[in-house]
Amino acid sequence: MEQVDLLTLAIEVLEKQGVTYMVVGSYASGSYGEPRMTQDIDIVVDLQPAQVDALCDAFPPPEFYVSGDAAREALRRASE
């Protein structure tokens, strides 16, 4: 899968599920005219606990690896 296709898929899933997000990092920087050597895609999400399972299910194995347990743990730690 091409990088732009992955970004498009991720954004479509996030918007469909009503997850607030922003694209940051080198990919976003390059889009604004400041290219970097790395071309990774970083997406910051404001994920609610009720959204975890649906988001994980939208990126099924073996093409993707998403850990629902890690997502729930991150949410738990963020609320401390």
Tell me: the pLDDT tens digits for 5-31? 999 999 999 999 999 999 988 777 766
Q: Distances from the Cα of 79 to the Cαs of 5, 35, 48, 51, 59, in angstroms? A: 33, 35, 11, 16, 25
Global pTM value: 0.82
Please choose, from the candidates 69, 27, 62, 59, the residue with its C-alpha nearest in 3D space to the C-alpha of residue 44. Answer: 27
Between CA 35 and CA 45 the distance in angstroms is 23
Confidence of residue 71 (pLDDT cuts 50, 70, 90): very high
Q: Among 2-6, 62-66, 76-80, where is mean pLDDT lowest?
A: 76-80
